[in-house]
Amino acid sequence: MKIHSKTLVTVVLAIVVSVITASAYAQTSSSGSSIMDTIQHLGEFQAIEFRRYQTSPGQRDHFTAYFDSLFPEAMEQLGALVLGSFHERTGPTAFTWLRGFHDINARPIVNSAFYYGPVWKEHRTAVNAILPDSDNVMLLKPLPGREVTVLPAVDPVQEPGGAKGVMVAEIFSIKKGSVEDFVRAAEPQFARYRAAGIREAGLLETLDVPNNFPQLPIREDGPFLVWMGIVKDDRSLTERFEPLRAESVKAFIASGLLRADPEIVIMDPTGRSRLRWFPTWQ
C-alpha cells in the first residue's frame, strides 16, 4: 500500500506525541525516576470501604465538586486513601468511591479523626444536604496478591482533562463458606478479561468483622466478592469486555455457588479519581 508523504508525516507526528505523553507520566521533572516511585510510601490497603451513594436529583455534579475539592488530601493526611471515585451509569444520582485503610484497626482511628475533624465540620451541612443515602457500604479485603491498584493522584498539568477510562465492577453474592471455591471456578474468566487487555484493579472479598466504627453502617448481607477492572474507553468496553462478560456470566452462574445473579456496575471516573486508565500502568 502506497503511503503519501503527508500521511507519513501525520503518522510520525502521532507516534511522537504518543511517546512524549507516555514519557511525561513515566518520569518526574527532576530525577527522571518512575512516577510510580512517588507513591511507594503509601503502601497497601487491606481494609476497603466500597461506598455507593445516592445523591439528590440533579445534585451529583455538585456533590462531586465538593468531594473532589475537599476530601482526597484530607483522607491522605490521616493515613487513608481515596482509591477511586466514580459516577455509576446505573442512574444520574449514583456516586461510588473506595476508601482504603492500611488495616482494619486503622479504620476507627482515621474515621474518627476525619468525621470529628475541622474539614468535615466545616462542610458537612452542605454535603449532607445533597446526600440522602450513604449507607450502601461493603467492607472488603483484598485477596492475597490481588490488592486494589494504587495509582498516582491525577496530575493537573499532565492530565488537564481529568481522569479517563471506564471502571467496571462485578459484584458476586456468594453462598456462605464458598468464596474460595468460587474464586477457583471464576479465575479462568478473570484471566480471559486480563488477556483481552482489561486491567484488573483488584479482587476483594467481604471482611467479616464487627463494625468498628458504627457511626458509619456497613452491609451485613454478605459474603460478597468484587472484581474490578478498567478499560480505556467505551469502544474497549463494548468490543472487549462486554462480549467476554456475556459468556462469563453463564460460567459464574453454572458454578452453583452464587446466591443471586452477578451485578455489573459500569462507572466513569470523576475528574480526580486515582483509579483510571493510566498510560504507564503495568
Closest CA to 150 of 40, 47, 280, 267: 40
What are 128-177's pLDDT values in tens digits? 999 999 999 999 999 999 999 999 999 999 899 999 999 999 999 999 99
- pTM summary value: 0.87
- What does the block give as the cell for 105? 484497626
What are 99-126's pLDDT values in tens digits? 999 999 999 999 999 999 999 999 999 9
Letter for the amino acid at 170? Answer: E
Domains of the chain: 35-269 (3.30.70.100)
Q: 56 with 130: CB under 8 angstroms? A: yes
Closest CA to 75 of 117, 41, 134: 117
* Rg over CA atoms, the chain: 20
HSE (side-chain half, CA atoms, 13 Å) at 85:
23
Phi–psi pair at 134, nearest 5 degrees: -130, 25
The interaxial angle of helices 179-195 and 242-254, nearest 10 deg, is 160
Closest CA to 110 of 48, 203, 193: 48
Percentage with pLDDT > 70 across the chain: 87
